[in-house]
């Protein structure tokens, strides 16, 4: 289920190190939930979940560097650890001492790697998360992205990437640069670091996924239940990869119970 209308607040901007980051703040009371999008992803990914959460929580959304309104200084892969630094930096800049990290898809990896950088993280909510081993051929992706590091290569691959991303079910509004950045970021994914982060910091964790997910095989999301802290494990029969959109009302109720009892 979805709220009647999505939420699309105008972005604010913050300088986090060398990154100019677009973000938004919604809600006036309750726990702070920092929403971390996946690949590709931006604050837009939570436009249906925000109105379901903000009657009882405060929500921070942001565009990772290279997506939405946040530029990337250089067109190169950005590891999850660097994105985690942006998340922690934004929380610090906003003066947020206690926060819940909500990651969607690859944003779950970023959430896990943010925990050691911000001692105020109390809970994790992982939506359609990848497992602790890769669900795609990382070495093949690394080889395939070598041409993207040069302008001529990006121009050559622009059309094939448009077709490939459309066939994979990703939204048509993505820009060519966002598709290129997504591929580059996928190539520098470090699942060993993700596993280490999960093992080291076992915060209470809610995991939810859909059995008809086309992007992350459901078995990968389900396999995380033994590697994270205690909390609900929810498998929707349907809803696809973007359950933060298709199941936003149900998720809000589950998250509220998880956080507030």
pLDDT at 57: 98
pLDDT at 149: 74
Q: In the structure encoding, which two tokens stand for residue 62, read together?
A: 């942001």
Mean pLDDT score, 105-112: 98
- Per DSSP, helices labelled H in the chain are 50-53, 80-93, 107-114, 138-144, 151-167, 176-187, 191-200, 218-223, 243-246, 248-260
pLDDT at 247: 98
Q: In the structure encoding, which two tokens stand for residue 254, read together?
A: 């589950």
Residue 193: other Cβ atoms inside 10 A? 16
Cβ contact 26:9 at 8 Å: yes
Rounded CA separation 228/163 (Å): 36
Out of 77-86, 128-137, 238-247, which region has the weakest mean confidence (pLDDT)? 128-137
Q: Assign 234 a pLDDT band (cuts: 50, 70, 90).
A: very high
Q: What is the DSSP letter of 255?
A: H
pLDDT at 161: 86
Q: Is the pLDDT confidence value at 118 over 90?
A: yes
pLDDT at 194: 95
Q: Is the pLDDT confidence value at 159 over 90?
A: no
The dotted CATH code for 12-133+189-260 is: 3.40.50.1820
Calculate what percentage of the chain has a pLDDT beyond 70. Answer: 100
Q: Return left, alpha or beta for 47; rule: phi > 0 is left, psi -120 to 50 is alpha, else beta.
A: alpha
User: What does pLDDT average to over the chain?
Assistant: 94
Q: Assign 18 a pLDDT band (cuts: 50, 70, 90).
A: very high
Mean pLDDT score, 6-31: 97
Neighbouring residues of 78: CB distance < 8 A, sequence distance ≥ 6: 64, 65, 66, 72, 181, 184, 185, 188
pLDDT at 158: 84
């Amino acid at each position: 289920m979805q709220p009647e209308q999505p939420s699309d607040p105008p972005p604010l901007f913050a300088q986090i190190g060398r990154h100019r980051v677009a973000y938004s703040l919604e809600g006036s009371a309750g726990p702070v939930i920092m929403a971390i999008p996946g690949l590709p992803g931006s604050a837009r990914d939570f436009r249906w979940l925000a109105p379901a959460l903000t009657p009882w929580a405060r929500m921070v959304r942001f565009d990772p560097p290279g997506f939405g309104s946040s530029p990337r200084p250089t067109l190169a892969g950005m590891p999850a650890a660097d994105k985690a630094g942006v998340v922690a930096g934004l929380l610090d800049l906003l003066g947020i001492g206690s926060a819940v990290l909500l990651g969607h898809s690859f944003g779950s990896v970023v959430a896990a790697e943010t925990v050691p950088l911000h001692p105020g993280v109390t809970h994790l909510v992982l939506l359609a998360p990848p497992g602790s081993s890769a669900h795609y051929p990382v070495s093949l992706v690394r080889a395939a992205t070598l041409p993207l590091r040069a302008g001529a290569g990006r121009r050559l691959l622009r059309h094939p990437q448009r077709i490939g991303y459309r066939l994979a079910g990703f939204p048509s509004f993505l820009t060519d640069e966002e598709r290129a950045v997504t591929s580059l970021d996928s190539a520098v994914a470090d699942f060993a670091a993700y596993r280490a982060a999960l093992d080291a910091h076992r915060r209470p964790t809610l995991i939810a996924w859909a059995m008809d997910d086309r992007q992350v095989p459901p078995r990968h999301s389900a396999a995380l239940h033994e590697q994270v802290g205690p909390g609900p494990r929810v498998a929707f029969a349907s809803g696809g990869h973007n359950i933060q959109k298709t199941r936003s009302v149900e998720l809000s109720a589950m998250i509220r119970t998880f956080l507030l009892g």
